[in-house]
A = this chain, B = another copy of it.
Amino acid sequence: MSNALNKPHLVRPATLERVRAQIDRLGYLPSQAAQGMRSQRAGAIGIEINAVHRGASDVAQPFLTDLTVAAPRHDVHLVPFAHGSRFPAVDGYRDMVRRRLVDAFVLADTHTGDPRPEWLLGAGIPFAAFGRIYDHPELGWWADVDGAAGTAQAVEHLHDRGYRTAAYLGWPLHKDDSEVADTRREGWLVRARELGTAGPELTCEQDLADATLAARTLLDQLDPGDAVVCASDLIALGVMYAAAARGWRIGPDLGVVGFDGSLTAARHGLTSVSQPLPDIADTLLGLLTDQLAGTADDPGGRLLTPTLTPGPSTDRTTEATAYTPLPAPGNRR
């Protein structure tokens, strides 16, 4: 009766029909455990949840959702696990494969000096990383958002909408994720110079208060009709705050573009460069199943292009007050 399921071509149609009927009647479904035992595969992918920094990243949790959605397409399920759980650090990764709880891992939140890629490579444990593998980009498989393309799109969008200059508020370049910071800035700079709309730039931490403070300084160098491209939605929110405090209407007076396409952006009517998280999730799982099947290409990375999601924050024509809760009537100056 197993042939009916697995090799339908070499079973007589009549028998096949009979078996199918019984399967339907009994509601039979093959046991994951038994299949896993026979195939020596767990059919599962591990994904580490950062329980320490919680929602520090606006994308980590939506990314998990996209992985979950993509998983069935690749005939796997996900097994999330957390820091500070029974599986601490790298040892935990090894133990999970030893137990055959998972076959491979998706690595999120990679950063420079991240010990995991090197260790997993050494242990021969398959993985695919969201974000480039900084120390050995050519040794493993990864996918990342094309940050430069994203900020370039933002600059073009602002130009199309008629904003005079595009300033930039980004991250300092000495951080862990300096490559991300660098790439996003580069995309803005190159395209803005091409279009002749490059404005001043400044950096700040990934923190609302710091972003607002920095934005205040940046806005000193701008006038109504200008715009700001930001390295993240949180920073963009800070810019909106600083602008509103100054009495500028977001949209008509100041264009603001964030990065990530986070819930924060949606809630505040912020135009944002949306990370292609569904694509990235699907790509990573594909890279993993290829590795497991032994049909993988050479190691390497793929850059996926983000898309710009327009919102009222770059709409000059609107008398926009509905979307932004900030402007106080008569507070403009």
Binding site for B on A (CB under 8 A): 27-34, 36-37, 42, 44, 49, 51, 54-55, 61-62, 64-66, 68-69, 71-72, 77-82, 84-87, 94-95, 98-101, 208-209, 212, 234, 238, 241-242, 244-247, 263, 267-268, 322-323, 325-329, 331
User: Which residues of chain B are near A78, meaning CB under 8 Å?
Assistant: 79-80
- Assuming the contacts A64-B64, A79-B78, A95-B29, asked whether A331 and B54 have C-beta atoms less than 8 A apart, the reply is no
CB-based contact A98/B29 at 8 Å: yes
Q: How far is the CB of A45 from chain B (nearest CB, A)?
A: 11
Q: In the complex, which residue of chain B has the Cβ closest to the Cβ of A26?
A: B98
Sort A-B residue pairs by CB-CB distance and give the 8 closest, nearest first.
A33-B36, A72-B86, A212-B325, A245-B328, A241-B325, A55-B263, A61-B61, A29-B98
Partner of A99, one of B32, B81, B86: B32
Number of copies: 2
Partner of A68, one of B36, B44, B82, B101: B82
A212 to B268, CA, bound (A): 12
Q: How far is the CB of A293 from chain B (nearest CB, A)?
A: 19
Q: In the complex, which residue of chain B has the Cβ closest to the Cβ of A234?
A: B267
Partner of A245, one of B28, B33, B55, B326: B326
User: Which residues of chain B are near A31, meaning CB under 8 Å?
Assistant: 37, 99-100
Q: In the complex, which residue of chain B has the Cβ closest to the Cβ of A95?
A: B29
Given A27-B94, A33-B42, A51-B69, 10 more contacts at CB 8 Å? A32-B36, A32-B99, A51-B65, A71-B81, A72-B87, A208-B325, A234-B267, A241-B326, A244-B328, A245-B325
